[in-house]
Chain A
Amino acid sequence: MSAPVVFDGVWKKFKQGERHDSLRDLIPSAIRALAGRNSFTDLQTEEFWAVEDVSFAVGAGEALGIIGPNGAGKSTILKLLTRILRPNRGRCAVSGRVGALIEIAAGFHPDLTGRENTYLQGALMGMTRAEVAAKFDEIVEFAGINAFVDTQVKRYSSGMNARLGFSIAAHLDPDVLIIDEVLSVGDMAFQEKCLQRMRRFKSQGVTIVFVSHNLQAVTELCDRALYLNRRPCLIGASSDVISRYVKDSFAVSSEAHQGEVQIASAELLHPDGTAVLDAVAPGARLRLSVTFEVVKAIDDVMFAFGVHRSTDQLLVYEGHFSQHELGLTTLTPGRFTVCFEFDSHLIRGQYYFAVFAAHRPTQRYLGRLRPAGHITISESRTWGGVADLNVNASLSTPAPTLSRVAGEPASVA
């Protein structure tokens, strides 16, 4: 059996520039068509490839994350998957019932009530009246809009709108679920509820394609990821793909401020001085060795070391060290190296370092480097969070209790 979602060498082009939509434009376009110059599969003038040669397959119960910068063609891929667009070359096939969480409230009409819109939106997603009716209470409950079902949707807050939209989609029984950036709506509690719901879909064997800028959500939901930038850049295990994407993004958006105290280089090392090349285990002692270069003599400088989670920029740690703590009495032109040694008590994921030197009285940056290095932590225990607390679970009750729990008759003393 072939996979539920198959993309096979898919190319998609779009027109650039202004759209010609007046009847006046009918004549030139008719002439082009008659002259046989309207090729469907090749580029014409004013056209560009939005998606080039993308191939992938997603199996049942598998979740694929699609990541990439803006304009990389992610939404185009989703529209190809949902049959809204047709590829110019190649083939895309999706089998089974497709649920799309794209613009989840697109079908809502502002003048209709929540109840009326639920039936309409359900029909748009391919649900019958009976199916919607059977799940209606659940849908409303999940969306948390019980008191407002018979209120016109135009009176809803944008959050309520989105929650109802997601809730309808979440109660569909899809074989394939296509999700576009829906987690950006709703409050924290609702976002968590959405993620949980998606995990449940996945465990039920639903095939998921998830497009998001929220790399943390992609990490949590997807086993595999596709890094797209019009062409597929990398496809594979989501942690590898995300770390590559993060590195590429920083190649464009890294911050390197160079003032009186410049940062010449930074290197991540094991305690024995060898470079860190692979993923490390949580808790490993590491050393970031940073070489500063003083351009102009300056006093009262502090040095900062920070760790961010790459997937969502979360600041995990930031510590400041004064010049005197480091034993630097004066800062005169020349180079010196500072070693930041630390225990990487982090859960699995990608992190990066940020280093800066600042003038303490004025809080002015003298030199700054972000990222100053990357690190991947690998482990399989934790389920969520940031810090690895080195938790040990053990049994402290005596053995007889255990045997009772297990259903064996307790021995009578």
Chain B
Amino acid sequence: MSNPSVLASLWTDSREIVAEQYEYRELLFQLTKRDVLIRYKQAIMGFGWAVFMPLLNTAVFSVIFTRVAPLHVDVPYPLFAFLGLLTWNFTASALRFSVGALTGNINLVTKVYCPREVFTISSVLVTMIDTLVGSIVLVAIMLYYHIGPGWAVFYLPLVLLIQVAFTTAVGLFISMANLFYRDVKYLFELVITMWMFATSVLYPTNLITGATGLVLRINPMTAIIDGYRDVLLYGRSPLTPAFMWTSVASLAILLCSAIVFHRAEFRFAESV
């Protein structure tokens, strides 16, 4: 195959993906609504979990990093940690949800035609709604410490967009991988735990130097979480080289992931 035809087929596929998503936008809405409703109905605390988990973690790590091993950050540590945990949890929970997005809807995957991306995308959307609820607590903590965002808050949608793009890209890939290889979900739990400690969730990773530090800095999640902190806590532009690199990389991974997913899609129903 020559280069132009590869490009042409990538272009056709991308257009097909977008067109299908648009055609089935109602389904995306209904699936997201379904999962939000179920969360409300099943769990006593409903959205409470979205608030409670990062809050509990913040308390624990605040004790560790202010009393046991004091850590210097430019803002009060609980605020630093809560923002890190809240935004990290968005990606982590969305991915945890995505791993089972196709296998959990197997009835629909094998019996009804629809672009299967909707299951993964709706997982990301549902988690985003949780995160928005959780951010009420963030606002409360910011008010408590008298730290408010400045003009840089206008960059917030951009940071969120990049996080959603990156999360969806990884989500599409792992939901598909778990359909073909059912032990991906166990591997995922392992990876996500290690990944958190390789990200600037609880401590700034620029404290770590050398080769390890370099690896930690090319981690897209670090750039994204640092971006949130720049925008909300430090009142500065998030457009650092690391963030720019992450943005380009996230969009590129999303494109690749969506095309691989789209091309493998027709084999989903046979692989269960």
Pair B181/A84 contact, Cβ less than 8 Å: no
User: B5 contacts the other chain (Cβ, under 8 Å)?
Assistant: no
Q: A79 vs B109: C-alpha distance in the bound complex, in angstroms?
A: 11
User: B182 contacts the other chain (Cβ, under 8 Å)?
Assistant: yes
Q: How big is the B interface, by class? A: 20 to 34
Pair A107/B26 contact, Cβ less than 8 Å: no
Residues in chain B near residue A116, CB distance under 8 A: 33-34, 37
User: A109 contacts the other chain (Cβ, under 8 Å)?
Assistant: yes
Residues in chain A near residue B181, CB distance under 8 A: 21-23, 25-26
Residues in chain A near residue B112, CB distance under 8 A: 82, 84, 100, 102-103, 106-107, 124-125
Q: A25 vs B271: C-alpha distance in the bound complex, in angstroms?
A: 13
Residue in B26, B266, B269, B270 whose beta carbon sits within 8 Å of that of A127 in the complex: B26
Pair B34/A21 contact, Cβ less than 8 Å: no
Known contacts A21-B181, A83-B113: does B108 contact A112 (CB below 8 Å)? no
Pair B41/A82 contact, Cβ less than 8 Å: no
Residue of chain B at shortest CB distance from A102: B111
Report A84 CB to chain B, min CB distance, Å.
5
Residue of chain B at shortest CB distance from A20: B181
Pair B266/A124 contact, Cβ less than 8 Å: no
Residues in chain B near residue A128, CB distance under 8 A: 26
Residues in chain A near residue B113, CB distance under 8 A: 82-84, 98, 100
Mark each residue of chain B from 99 to 133: 1 if its CB lies under 8 Å from any CB of chain A, else 0. Answer: 00000000110111110000000000000000000
> Which of B31, B37, B270 has the most C-beta atoms of chain A within 10 angstroms of its own C-beta?
B270
Number of interface residues of A (CB under 8 A): 34
Residues in chain A near residue B266, CB distance under 8 A: 85-86
Known contacts A109-B34, A120-B34: does B269 contact A84 (CB below 8 Å)? yes
User: A119 contacts the other chain (Cβ, under 8 Å)?
Assistant: yes
Mark each residue of chain A from 116 to 130: 1 if its CB lies under 8 Å from any CB of chain B, else 0. Answer: 100110111111110
Pair A123/B26 contact, Cβ less than 8 Å: yes
Pair B180/A21 contact, Cβ less than 8 Å: yes
| Chain B 157-207 residues near chain A, CB threshold 8 A | 180-184, 187
Mark each residue of chain B from 212 to 225: 1 if its CB lies under 8 Å from any CB of chain A, else 0. Answer: 00000000000000
Q: 12 A-B residue contacts at CB 8 Å?
A: A25-B181, A84-B112, A107-B112, A109-B34, A111-B37, A119-B33, A120-B31, A123-B31, A124-B108, A126-B23, A128-B26, A129-B29
| 9 closest A-B pairs by CB | A123-B30, A86-B266, A123-B27, A106-B111, A103-B111, A123-B26, A120-B30, A83-B113, A23-B181
Residues of A within 8 A of B (CB): 14-15, 19, 21-23, 25-26, 79, 82-86, 98, 100, 102-103, 106-107, 109, 111-112, 116, 119-120, 122-129
